[in-house]
Structure 1
Amino acid sequence: MNFFFASPAALALLLTSPGATAADQPRPNLPAVKAPSFRADTLSILKFGAVSDGLTKSPAIQQAIDAAAKAGGGVVLVPRGHWLTAPIELRSNVNLHLATGAFVQFSNQRADYHLIKTSWEGVDAVRNQAQIYGKDLTNFAITGRGVFDGDGGTWRIVKKSKLTESQWKRLVESGGVTNEKKDTWYPSASSLKGAAIPEAFYLKPGKEVKDYEDIKDFLRPDMLVLERCKQLMLEGVTFQNSPAWSLHPIMSEDITVRGVTVLNPEYGQNTDAIDLESCKNGLVEGCTFDVGDDGICIKSGRDEQGRKRGMPTENFIIRDTKVYHAHGGFVIGSEMSGGARNIYAYNLTFMGTDVGLRFKAARGRGGVVENIFINNVNMKNIVAQAVIFDLYYMAKDPVALVGESAAPPVIKAEPVNEGTPQFRHIDIRNITCDGADVGIMLRGLPEMPLRDIVIENAVLQSDKGLVCIEAENIRLKNVTLLSKNTMPVMEVQNSKDITLDGIKYAPGATLLMRVTGDRAKNVKLANTDTKAAKKDLEFGDKVSKKTVTISKL
């Protein structure tokens, strides 16, 4: 069997981080990612009558793709210029190449799009077909240095609170409609009608695609969807202004995404950069993402449908990538019902994201997320948590709204069943964060704690330090929690077998650690200067002082 290893340069970076040694670094040992290859034959879209004026909508790109495929494959060249097109479909054995300066603009005429049965947010759905679509394809690519623009404003709903007063005024004057409260803008009455229907995009039993025509404008297309495809590559291209999710490979394998840029407005709802859903064997490297929803997102279906599909996202390396505005920098979930495993993420930078490393699920999801290795992550100006594991995700958004309590909800135990999610065997090393609300938040379920999580070599500057709820076998080593709110630096609730080794914090902290909950057990504090705090420990009701053992420096 062939194996794919990180490059020598990447491994050198892994092994030269502060505190890292060759012995304690997990190394990617995954199946080789099969790259596509193509005939040298090249077809220019100019041969098919394309006009570079940004005004003349032409089928030339699609015609060139079809002609190349019919001839056995090759390269379709989109030269420098401004090209207007309706949605396109990719073909096997074809490399769609955008030259430097090529700007492909997708039509803003909603009639150019048609509804299809598909999957979105992990369930069977009806949506407008993606602007770039491929299904059951093998050996294909999109390469070059050009730009795809999805004209997302044609489709997106916009909340008044997301814009300045002048921006809102211009938007309303541009057309469309607003709701009764005048606080949300919709591009059309059809869009407004769809928004009033709970989970309108679901393909409900007894319904057909044609039954959704009256809310068609609400069912935004993704920019790129690749369904059940193999041996594909996205390289060098910029994807911007997507109506919804930007890059969505689903149930596909042998995926290479290299040097890609995704740009969407910060207010753009559901404009994830890349969603790898139920995919197998891949590499994402050297990318830049700045979007209105999650940046790098791992998914595998939602609830019963996801469990029935039973296809985890597995065997991926994600490296050398920057994420600017996004809900989460690197995210697993919340639609992870098919599971996720064997994922290596390293050399990542997050700047201004709501959350840095985000693992989320909820009761009803089911699925197992395991064997996740994260190394060398630098974060700055994180709005909420630098690191969060949350199995109670649907209970509270990580970014509290104005006037909303930030206190965690009270969680009651429920029976374990196939809908109980599990996160375990996760290793995070060598991370920094300059500015966050919470450094580390771990929140499992009373019936299914978070398990076997290691966080080692971290320096986190945040308002609050550690919050650990319903967790088991958690190990923090050489972690610096420079929290402004030192009452306490660390909160441990209903958790057991917790090891806090070599914890550093700002001198003069009011309280180092509070332990609460009648299920708290076996909390170890080692190699930590407890005397630097005004008070070292505080216990809740029914918590024995023997719950915590302190090993002196």
Structure 2
Amino acid sequence: MEPFLRFRTFHVTQTISAILVLGILTTLRVAECENTQILDTLQYKALTCRKHTASLAEFGAVGDGKTSNTKAFKTAIESLSKFANDGGAQLIIPPGKWLTGSFNLTSHFTLFLDKDAVILGSQEESEYPVFAPLPSYGTGRDGTGARFSSLIFGTNLTDVVITGQNGKIDGQGEIWWEKYHNDQLNNLTRPYMIEIMYSNRIQISNLTLVNSPTWFVHPVYSSDVIIQGLSILAPVDSPNTDGIDPDSCTNTRIEDCFIVSGDDCIAVKSGWDQYGINFGMPTKHLIIRRVTCISPDSATIALGSEMSGGIEDVRAEDITAINTQSGVRIKTAIGRGGFVKDIYARRMNFKTMKYVFWMTSSYNKHPDDGYDPKALPKIEGINYKDVVAENVTYSARLEGLASDPFTGICISNVNITLTEKPKALQWNCSSIAGVTSNVTPKACDFLPEKEAVECPFPEDKLPIDEVQLENCTAAAAVEP
């Protein structure tokens, strides 16, 4: 029987109707093909429920952790793409270890991982196509050459869901980290785990992601993105394993994630120097909430350093960091241009931190020598409030540019308790301007104390916060 003939078609809007329909379909399927079994019903929330369903096992995939299933993934997704205009389709990844190289998603599509499913990223370079650098970067990040495609990739898509019952995607990044450290990548940039480009209506949720070769989740040039319920895990000494990097994206919601990383847990970006300036696509209208971070050498939330297209209207709240280098860090430099403005963060709890507040104007790595030394970044309207931090080495390191000071900084209601051996200079400030209120230890003179000041946090709702997920159901068929 051809795989596409085994798709079961049903529309799900409520659990009760789903059960009724599934019962009817089970009867029909048994009559049609007696050697097909229906697994337990899978329930999940998604942007859109799908009318058609198939299991990866129906396309000849082998879940032994050794057999390459790249062809099976590609064939399954190509077959299911035919249903894009007929209610969409979902591909169920059943229990097993499914080794694969890079594969591309399609529109109106759901990739669903069973709780006992593991997608393993191939460690063979030949399994990852090579293509040009991002236009807003002009070069790769591991070298000046091209870059490997991500493990899970999509471009120019609409309505894409990657979700599951906390199933796992393992990038098997160790060999890639070793090649990076030993300069064995031939000037190519390592694969990301998930990258979606030039797309809209994206959901990535309820998964465990481990050991990406480099960045884990990278939506870029996209809009209306929901990322939630992810556990992202990498060794704290692994190179450039950022957790979530929204890059030149509009209307993004990141929530309820736990991240252990060798780099920034969340890094907000928008292009690099002259390439980002020319591309001109900011990241804006970004919500980050209920995120926990562990990253001893990096930031909980980084704004930059590639921010040349601009970063605007970021709202972070209910953020926890443990044994992490810094809280919200702004990273920029002469030559970046662009702006970071209207940044709001509240209700942050930190324990064992090097810096609570950190703004850097000397993050000087450039893509090439073509950057404009007159392109100065504009940093203004930075608001932090309701912060509790324990076991802190430095309260703040805030370094603006003498030729372009960072302005409009507001910090209120902050209580920082210090490590047993804190640095004598707790607030190291230069070329900044703003105010503080009810902050302990007392801030530097560039941020004078003003009584009864409460830093703002927007109370309006962004469009992405109005998006509600549907209750969806799926059942996968496999050979008995």
TM-score by length of 1: 0.67
1:81, CA displacement in angstroms?
A: 1.3
SS where residue 64 of structure 2 aligns? Answer: coil
SS where residue 132 of structure 2 aligns? Answer: strand
1:102 aligns with 2:62: no
State the distance in 2 between where 1:442 and 1:131 align.
38
* Distance verdict in 2 for CA 1:417–1:105, change over 3 Å: closer
Partner of 1:466: 427
Partner of 1:455: 411
1:435, CA displacement in angstroms?
A: 1.8
Partner of 1:537: none
Comparing 120-129 with 425-434, which one deviates more in the overlay? 120-129
1:66 alignment partner AA:
E
* Distance verdict in 2 for CA 1:120–1:260, change over 3 Å: farther
State the distance in 1 between where 2:288 and 2:387 align.
16
1:46 aligns with 2:57: yes
Higher relative contact order (CA 8 A, sep 6+): 2
Q: Is the 8 A contact 2:257 2:291 kept in 1?
A: yes
**Runs of 4 or more off by more than 4 Å in structure 1?**
489-492
1:441, CA displacement in angstroms?
A: 1.9
1:77 aligns with 2:92: yes
2:252 alignment partner AA:
G
Partner of 2:362: 392
Partner of 1:523: none
Partner of 2:148: 128
1:380, CA displacement in angstroms?
A: 0.8
State the distance in 2 between where 1:80 and 1:491 align.
57
Identify unmatched segments of 5+ residues in structure 2: 1-45, 141-145, 366-371, 453-480
State the distance in 1 between where 2:311 and 2:443 align.
29
Out of 238, 246, 259, the position equivalent to 1:268 is 238
1:83, CA displacement in angstroms?
A: 1.1
RMSD value, Cα: 2.1
1:417, CA displacement in angstroms?
A: 7.5
Q: Is the 8 A contact 1:65 1:96 kept in 2?
A: no
Q: Report 1:504-519 matches (<5 A).
A: none
Partner of 2:379: 423
Partner of 1:88: 103
Q: Is the 8 A contact 1:333 1:361 kept in 2?
A: yes
Show CA shifts across 1:437-470 (max 9, x none).
2112211111111101110011112324222211
State the distance in 1 between where 2:335 and 2:393 align.
28
SS where residue 449 of structure 2 aligns? Answer: strand
* Distance verdict in 2 for CA 1:369–1:112, change over 3 Å: same
1:147 aligns with 2:168: yes
1:49, CA displacement in angstroms?
A: 1.3
Comparing 107-116 with 238-247, which one deviates more in the overlay? 107-116
Out of 437, 443, 448, the position equivalent to 1:477 is 437
Partner of 1:437: 393
State the distance in 2 between where 1:185 and 1:285 align.
32
SS where residue 451 of structure 1 aligns? Answer: strand
SS where residue 392 of structure 2 aligns? Answer: coil
Partner of 1:367: 338
Q: Is the 8 A contact 2:68 2:101 kept in 1?
A: yes
Out of 57, 72, 75, the position equivalent to 2:68 is 57
SS where residue 371 of structure 1 aligns? Answer: strand
Show CA shifts across 1:460-506 (max 9, x none).
1232422221112x11100112xxxxxxx6554xx4xx422469xxx
Q: Is the 8 A contact 1:82 1:102 kept in 2?
A: yes
Identify unmatched segments of 5+ residues in structure 1: 1-34, 158-175, 177-183, 195-214, 396-415, 482-488, 504-553
Q: Is the 8 A contact 2:50 2:110 kept in 1?
A: no
Out of 240, 246, 249, the position equivalent to 1:279 is 249
Partner of 1:322: 292
* Distance verdict in 2 for CA 1:136–1:316, change over 3 Å: same
Q: Is the 8 A contact 1:155 1:220 kept in 2?
A: yes
State the distance in 2 between where 1:369 and 1:86 align.
37
1:337, CA displacement in angstroms?
A: 0.7
State the distance in 1 between where 2:236 and 2:435 align.
35
1:225 aligns with 2:236: no
Q: Is the 8 A contact 2:135 2:275 kept in 1?
A: no
Q: Report 1:292-331 matches (<5 A).
A: 292-325=262-295, 327-331=298-302
* Distance verdict in 2 for CA 1:115–1:138, change over 3 Å: same
Q: Is the 8 A contact 1:479 1:502 kept in 2?
A: no
2:440 alignment partner AA:
T
State the distance in 2 between where 1:490 and 1:74 align.
56
* Distance verdict in 2 for CA 1:319–1:423, change over 3 Å: same
Q: Is the 8 A contact 2:52 2:83 kept in 1?
A: no
Query: How many residues of Structure 1 are paired with residues of Structure 2 in the alignment?
Result: 385
State the distance in 1 between where 2:355 and 2:263 align.
15
1:120, CA displacement in angstroms?
A: 8.8
TM-score by length of 2: 0.76
Q: Is the 8 A contact 1:134 1:227 kept in 2?
A: yes
Partner of 1:22: none
SS where residue 174 of structure 2 aligns? Answer: helix
Partner of 1:208: none
